[in-house]
Amino acid sequence: MSQGENSIYTVQSVNKALEILEILAEGAQNLSLPLLAERVGLSRNKTFRLLCTLCEKGLVERDALTGRYQLGIYSVALAQKFLKNASVVTYAHPIMEGLAKKHDEAVYLTVAAGDEVLFLDMVDCEHQIKAAPLLGNRFPVFTTAAGKMIKALDSRDLLEKMFRKRGKKPDISHLDRLESELQEIRTRGVAVDVGSLGEDIISVAVAVRDYAGKVVGAITMLGPSVRMLTDRLENEIIPSMILGADMLSEKFGYTPA
Please report, in tens digits, the pLDDT of each residue of the chain (257 residues total). 444 444 454 578 888 998 898 888 776 567 899 999 999 999 999 999 999 999 998 889 898 888 899 888 777 666 655 554 456 788 899 999 999 999 999 999 998 887 788 898 899 888 766 666 788 888 988 899 999 999 887 766 666 666 666 555 656 666 778 888 888 998 999 999 998 888 889 999 999 998 888 888 999 999 999 999 999 999 999 999 999 999 999 988 888 76
User: How far, in Å, CA of 58 to CA of 9, rounded?
Assistant: 26
Decide if 169 is inside a domain. Answer: yes
Decide if 215 is inside a domain. Answer: yes
Burial category of 233 from C-beta neighbours within 10 Å (exposed 0-12, middle 13-18, buried 19 and up): middle
Tell me, yes or no, if the pTM score tops 0.85.
no
Decide if 256 is inside a domain. Answer: no
Q: Which residues contact 200 (CB under 8 A, 6 or more apart)?
A: 194, 224, 225, 226
7 and 46 in a single domain? The answer is: yes
Half-sphere exposure of 31 (CA within 13 A, CB side): 23
47 and 82 in a single domain? The answer is: no
On whether the CB atoms of residues 130 and 223 are closer than 8 A, the answer is: yes
Q: Which residues contact 159 (CB under 8 A, 6 or more apart)?
A: 151, 170, 175, 178, 179
> What letter represents residue 138's amino acid?
R
36 and 157 in a single domain? The answer is: no
On whether the CB atoms of residues 140 and 100 are closer than 8 A, the answer is: no
Burial category of 164 from C-beta neighbours within 10 Å (exposed 0-12, middle 13-18, buried 19 and up): middle
8 and 97 in a single domain? The answer is: no
The CATH number of residue 30's host domain is 1.10.10.10
Domain boundary among 71, 98, 113: 71
Query: What pLDDT is recorded for position 164?
Result: 63
Number of domains within the chain = 2
66 and 90 in a single domain? The answer is: no
Query: What pLDDT is recorded for position 157?
Result: 63
The H or E element that residue 209 is part of is strand 201-209
14 and 95 in a single domain? The answer is: no
What single DSSP character describes residue 86? S
User: How far, in Å, CA of 51 to CA of 19, rounded?
Assistant: 11
